[in-house]
C-alpha cells in the first residue's frame, strides 16, 4: 500500500512540476483596454523578469511605438539579467491590427532572443495575414524586424511587414552581426507566409533591400529559411535594390516558394552616378555559399507570376535586371532549381551606357561560383513574348545582351552544372537601327586563357519553345533591325572541361539584316578539351545578309589545346528564310 501511495505521490509531483515548468503567462497588448499599450512596454517587462515562463502576448488593438528601440533580449542575458522566459508568442485576436511607428530603429528587435514566434493569423488559425508590422521612417537604421547578436530559432509568419529604409546594408527585415567566435550567429530562423513590401509605391516608400543579411566571421548567419512569402512593391526606383540580399558570412540558406512581383508598372528614374541594378535573389559573398534557391516565382503582378506582366520602363544611365544572381566563389555548391521566371516586360529601356556585354536582362546569373542550375523555367516552353526586353540602343557603340542563363567561370577548379532548364518565349527588341541587342540562351561570358580544371556540364536543356520563332532577337514591331546582332542558343568562350550534351536548340529567329548578323545553335571558342554530344538543333533562322552563312548549327573556333569530341548531334537549320 505504501509503495502504491508513494508512486502516486511521485506521479503527481512530476505532473505538477511539468505543468509549472511549461505554464503560460498571457498578457494583452494594444492602445486601449490591454495590459500594455505598446509592444515596447511588454518587452521591457519581459527583460526585467516581471513576467516569465512561456509568454503569450495577444494583440487586441493597434499599437503605435513612439520610443525605440523596441527590443527583446535573450532570457538571462547581460542586458536582461532578471529575465526568465522559455518562449514568446505574439498573435492578434482580431483582423486588421498593426504594430507600427516611425523609428530610426526596428519596430521589433530580437537582440540575442531565441524561440520567439510572431504569428499574424487571428488566434493562430487560418491562412490570412492579419497583423501588420510597419516602420514608416526611411532613415538608414529603420527596419520592421531586426535580428542581431545570436538571435536563433525565431519564426515570423503570416504578417504584413513594411518598411522603407534607404541603406544598402539594411532591410525591411535585417539579419545583422553577432559577437565573433561565440557560437552561431543569427541562425535557424524562419520567415514564412508573409507579405513583405514598402510602405508606399513612391521611391521614398520603398527599401533598398527587403531582406538583408551580413553576419560575422566565426558566428555565421546560417541555415535561415525564407519560404512562401510574397515580395512586392519594394524595389527602389532611383538606386540599385534587391528583394533578398544575402551578403557576407551567411551560408546555407533555403529560399523557396516565394513570389516576387510588382502590382503595377514602374518607371525607373535616371541616375547618372551608378549602374542601377535590380535583383530579386542576390547572394554576394564567398563566405555565403551552400544555399538552396528553389521553386520561386519571379514576374507578373501577383503571386506565382499571375496577372499582367512585371513592367519596368524608364531612362536610367545604366540598367540591369537579374532575377537571380549568385557570386559565392570557391565555397560549397549553391543549388538553383525549379524556379519560374516569366511574365516580364522591360519596356524601351533608354540607357546611355556604352561598350560591350551590357547585360540588360539575365534570368539566372552565376559569377565565379560553384553552382547547380537545374530544372528552371525562364520564359515559357510555348507561345511568344513571355519575357520582352526592349532597349533604345541609339549608336553602334551600344551592345546590349539579353540572356537566359549566364556564367562567368571561376579562377579555380570548380563545379558548374546547368541542366534540364527551359528557356523560351523571349523577345529581345531594339527600337533603333544602329545599336546591337544580342541574345544568348546559355552564355559563358569570360574568355579565360587558362584552364583551371573547372568541370562544366551543360546537359538536357531546352532553348526555344514549341512555338515557331519562340525566341526573336532583335524583334521589332514592323521591320528587321539592321545592326550586326549575334543570337545563340549556347555560347561558350572560357577555358574549362566542357560537356555539352543532349540539349535541344530550336525555333530561334535572328531578325537583324546587318552584314555581321548571325545565329548559332551552339558556339564555342573555348581553348580546352570538351565534348559536344547528342544535341539537337533545328528551326534556327536568320535574316542576316553576310556572304558567310548567317545561320550556323555548330561553330567551333579557336581550339588550341586538348581534344574536341563532336558526335551524335542532329542539326537541321533553315537558311535565310522569312517569317
pLDDT value at residue 14: 41
Please name the residue ranges forming H helices in 305-415: none
CA 303 to chain centre: 15
pLDDT value at residue 557: 81
279: part of which helix (H) or strand (E)?
Answer: strand 276-284
Let me know if 1 is exposed, middle or buried by CB neighbors in 10 A (0-12, 13-18, 19+).
exposed
Cα R_g (the chain), whole angstroms: 27
Cα distance between residue 123 and residue 185, in whole Å: 31
Cα distance between residue 270 and residue 482, in whole Å: 28
CA dihedral 314, 316, 322, 328 (to 10 degrees): -160
Closest CA to 437 of 387, 403, 464: 403
Query: Percent of the chain scored above 70 by pLDDT?
Result: 84
pLDDT value at residue 268: 87
Cα distance between residue 331 and residue 112, in whole Å: 28
DSSP 474: T
Cis link prior to 69 (omega < 30° from 0)? yes
Cα distance between residue 434 and residue 396, in whole Å: 5
pLDDT value at residue 5: 42
pLDDT value at residue 21: 46
SS3 47: helix
pLDDT value at residue 487: 92
Q: What are the phi and psi torsion angles at 489 (to 5°)? A: -70, -55
| Residue numbers of the chain with a pLDDT score lower than 70 | 1-22, 270-274, 315-317, 348, 350-357, 393-398, 410-413, 433-435, 446-453, 475-483, 494-496, 526-527, 545-549, 559-562, 573-579
Number of Cβ atoms within 10 Å of the Cβ of 523: 22
Cα distance between residue 226 and residue 196, in whole Å: 12
Closest CA to 505 of 431, 383, 362, 404: 404
How far is CA 237 from each of CA 204, 207, 354, 392, 477, rounded to the nearest angstrom? 9, 10, 22, 19, 28
pLDDT value at residue 417: 94
Cα distance between residue 126 and residue 133, in whole Å: 19
CA 98 to chain centre: 28
pLDDT value at residue 313: 85
The three cell numbers of residue 446 are 569570360
Closest CA to 169 of 206, 129, 212, 112: 212
pLDDT value at residue 194: 98
pLDDT value at residue 11: 41
How many Cα atoms occupy the beta-carbon half-sphere of 407 within 13 Å?
30
pLDDT value at residue 454: 72
SS3 423: strand
How far is CA 452 from each of CA 285, 335, 448, 456, 499, rounded to the nearest angstrom? 21, 22, 9, 11, 15
Amino acid at each position: 500500500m505504501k509503495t502504491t501511495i508513494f508512486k502516486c505521490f511521485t506521479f503527481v509531483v512530476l505532473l505538477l512540476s511539468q505543468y509549472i515548468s511549461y505554464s503560460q503567462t498571457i498578457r494583452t497588448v494594444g492602445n486601449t483596454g490591454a495590459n500594455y499599450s505598446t509592444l515596447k512596454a511588454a518587452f521591457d517587462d519581459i527583460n526585467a523578469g516581471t513576467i516569465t515562463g512561456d509568454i503569450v502576448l495577444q494583440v487586441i488593438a493597434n499599437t503605435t511605438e513612439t520610443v525605440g528601440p523596441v527590443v527583446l533580449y535573450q532570457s538571462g542575458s547581460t542586458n536582461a539579467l532578471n529575465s526568465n522566459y522559455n518562449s514568446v508568442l505574439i498573435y492578434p485576436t482580431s483582423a486588421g491590427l498593426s504594430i507600427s511607428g516611425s523609428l530610426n530603429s526596428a519596430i521589433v528587435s530580437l537582440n540575442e532572443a531565441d524561440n520567439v514566434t510572431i504569428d499574424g493569423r487571428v488566434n493562430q488559425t487560418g491562412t490570412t495575414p492579419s497583423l501588420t508590422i510597419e516602420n514608416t521612417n526611411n532613415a538608414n537604421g529603420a527596419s520592421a524586424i531586426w535580428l542581431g547578436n545570436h538571435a536563433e530559432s525565431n519564426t515570423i509568419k503570416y504578417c504584413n511587414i513594411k518598411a522603407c529604409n534607404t541603406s544598402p546594408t539594411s532591410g525591411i527585415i535585417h539579419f545583422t552581426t553577432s559577437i565573433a567566435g561565440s557560437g552561431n550567429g543569427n541562425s535557424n530562423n524562419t520567415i514564412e507566409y508573409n507579405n513583405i513590401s514598402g510602405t508606399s509605391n513612391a521611391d521614398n516608400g520603398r527599401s533598398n533591400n527587403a531582406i538583408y543579411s551580413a553576419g560575422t566571421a566565426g558566428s555565421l548567419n546560417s541555415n535561415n529559411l525564407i519560404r512562401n512569402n510574397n515580395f512586392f512593391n519594394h524595389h527602389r526606383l532611383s538606386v540599385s535594390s534587391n528583394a533578398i540580399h544575402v551578403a557576407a558570412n551567411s551560408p546555407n540558406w533555403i529560399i523557396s516558394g516565394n513570389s516576387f512581383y510588382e502590382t503595377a508598372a514602374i518607371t525607373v528614374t535616371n541616375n547618372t552616378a551608378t549602374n542601377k541594378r535590380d535583383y530579386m535573389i542576390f547572394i554576394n559573398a564567398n563566405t555565403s555559399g551552400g544555399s538552396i534557391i528553389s521553386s520561386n516565382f519571379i514576374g507578373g503582378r501577383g503571386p506565382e507570376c499571375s496577372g499582367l506582366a512585371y513592367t519596368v520602363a524608364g531612362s536610367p544611365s545604366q540598367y540591369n535586371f537579374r532575377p537571380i544572381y549568385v557570386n559565392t566563389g570557391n565555397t560549397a555548391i549553391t543549388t538553383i532549381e525549379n524556379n519560374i521566371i516569366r511574365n516580364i516586360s522591360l519596356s524601351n529601356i533608354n540607357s546611355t551606357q556604352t561598350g560591350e556585354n551590357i547585360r540588360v536582362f539575365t534570368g539566372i546569373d552565376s559569377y565565379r561560383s560553384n553552382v547547380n542550375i537545374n530544372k528552371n523555367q525562364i520564359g515559357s516552353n510555348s507561345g511568344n513574348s513571355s519575357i520582352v526586353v526592349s532597349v533604345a540602343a541609339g549608336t553602334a557603340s551600344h551592345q546590349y545582351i539579353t540572356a537566359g542563363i549566364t556564367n562567368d567561370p571561376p579562377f579555380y577548379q570548380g563545379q558548374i552544372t546547368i541542366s534540364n532548364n527551359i528557356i523560351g518565349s523571349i523577345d529581345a527588341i531594339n527600337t533603333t537601327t544602329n545599336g546591337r541587342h544580342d541574345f544568348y540562351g546559355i552564355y559563358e561570358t569570360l574568355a579565360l586563357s587558362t584552364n583551371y580544371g573547372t568541370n562544366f556540364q551543360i546537359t538536357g536543356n531546352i532553348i526555344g519553345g514549341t512555338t515557331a520563332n519562340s525566341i526573336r532577337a532583335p524583334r521589332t514591331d514592323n521591320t528587321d533591325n539592321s545592326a550586326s546582332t549575334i543570337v545563340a542558343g549556347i555560347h561558350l568562350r572560357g577555358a574549362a572541361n566542357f560537356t555539352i550534351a543532349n540539349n535541344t536548340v530550336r525555333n530561334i529567329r535572328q531578325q537583324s539584316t546587318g552584314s555581321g548578323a548571325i545565329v548559332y545553335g551552339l558556339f564555342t571558342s573555348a581553348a580546352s578539351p570538351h565534348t559536344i554530344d547528342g544535341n539537337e538543333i533545328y528551326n534556327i533562322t536568320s535574316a542576316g545578309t553576310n556572304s558567310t552563312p548567317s545561320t550556323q548549327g555548330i561553330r567551333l573556333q579557336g581550339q588550341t589545346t586538348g581534344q574536341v569530341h563532336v558526335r551524335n548531334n542532329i542539326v537541321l537549320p533553315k537558311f535565310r528564310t522569312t517569317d
